[in-house]
Amino acid sequence: MNEKLLELAARRGALGVRIAGQRQTLAREAEALGGVFSAGDAVLRGVDWLKQHPLAVGAAVAGAVVVRPRRALRWAQRGFFVWRGWRAMRNTLSRL
């Protein structure tokens, strides 16, 4: 076999060992993020459930309005401002 091919094969083997070590390090360090990702997944499942059950959301809002109208109005105002801020941020980021 050509000397250059042997050198390339040895280099390729060394890179393979290095890559395997990096993969193990990445997997070990990514374990710490598992809790964050599972919490994010739980939030997304909750949002999906709310999207699939709009009557439950409507009933909860109606109940809040009947039981505590002032508090419901304050929360509605806060929600409106959060929604407007979200839209403004999304529009700004989409322009970038």
pLDDT tens figures, 31-59:
888 888 889 899 999 999 999 999 999 99
Q: Tell me the percentage of the chain whose pLDDT exceeds 70.
A: 99
What are the boundaries of each domain within the chain? 1-52, 54-96
pLDDT > 90? residue 80:
yes
Q: Hey, what are 55's tokens?
A: 């009557």
1 three-state secondary structure: coil
Q: What single DSSP character describes residue 9?
A: H
Q: Residue 1: its pLDDT value, please?
A: 62
